[in-house]
Amino acid sequence: MSQKKEIPVFFSVDHRYIPFLGVAIHSLKKNLSENSHCTIHVLYTNIPEELKKRITDLSDERAEVSFTNVEKEVALMAGELNLRDYYTISIYYRLFIASLFPQYHKAIYLDADVVLNRDIAAFYEIPLGENLVGAISDAIVNGHEDFIRYSEGSLGIPAKEYFNSGVLLMNLDAFRKERIQERFVELLNKYHFDTICPDQDYLNHLCRGRVQFVDKGWNKMSLDENYDGVPGLIHYNMFYKPWQYDNICYESYFWNYAKETPFYDEILAIKAAFGEQERREHEEANRRLHENALRISVASDNFRNTLLKD
């Protein structure tokens, strides 16, 4: 019998995302081929043992799930992290994968608000060459004039080349060679740039010119169903969550997987509790996001004007 292909997959969450992480892991496992095996690492800083156990209990012959505490790495980030709205410090954890796991040459990072419909091995096997990451051009950034101006004005990156960091194929050897973690910490602690997508903006700056753009079916955002066939991965990012709103694109995939997990009733309760106040908060957060995008795009102390001067 041939040895199974070992695929390292990383998530980073706080305690509030445990139910959705459970659905993501279930969908990943369900679509693994017989020739694939996943080692799933969940990066965290403060999650109770009973919640971690609910996730590690999902381990089986297809995938082994474990948690890695990144408190020491987070301590490297000094001062204000410019988090706002729905962001938590967990968005930064992916930047420490290369140093924490030197045994891996390559790995996948996934946000927890995803479901898989294909064997993740097909994504893992995409060749990266000398590129630092494999990713998709961010559909939200490309779909709004305010964010197009932000990408080009704040980062100096054409909007079509600005990638979404919620689904990444990571060249960890290249991350280590190029000192991506060290450069990130240095930039963060020196400048504390104002951003609208904190980790994503730093990664776009650090990886500029070394991105392998992949088919959007490996990170199909739930903005619309403009994709031919069934996407390999659906990403319910930003405010497009089926556990908050009705009539979200591709919502049936999420609920079909959720029903097969121990988290289903809990997720239904989360949706039932999401009310008018939360909707108003989302509307306000979205308004601020656009406002901040325009403000930062012309700021004198943004990435482009600080780091890309002639």
What mean pLDDT is predicted for residues 220-244? Answer: 96
Say if residue 1's pLDDT is above 60: no
Position 83 scores a pLDDT of: 42
SS3 219: coil
Residue 226's CB: how many other CB atoms inside 10 A? 10
pLDDT tens figures, 226-236: 999 999 999 99
What mean pLDDT is predicted for residues 224-246? Answer: 96
pLDDT tens figures, 33-73: 999 999 999 999 889 999 999 999 999 999 999 999 988 87
Position 199 scores a pLDDT of: 86
SS3 142: helix
Q: Which domain holds residue 104?
A: 5-307
DSSP state letter for 95:
G
Structure tokens at 157: 């990156």
Q: Kindly report whether the global pTM for this prediction surpasses the value 0.75.
A: yes
Position 77 scores a pLDDT of: 67
Q: Count Cβ neighbours within 10 Å for each residue of 292-309 and write b for 16 or more, e otherwise.
A: bbeebbebeebbbeeeee
pLDDT tens figures, 145-195: 999 999 999 999 999 999 999 999 999 999 999 999 999 888 888 888 889
Position 289 scores a pLDDT of: 93
- Cβ–Cβ < 8 Å for 39, 71: no
Task: Return the closest-CA partner of residue 212 out of 93, 100, 123, 147.
Answer: 123
Number of independent structural domains in the chain: 1
What mean pLDDT is predicted for residues 208-233? Answer: 97
Say if residue 80's pLDDT is above 60: no
Q: CATH number, domain at 38?
A: 3.90.550.10
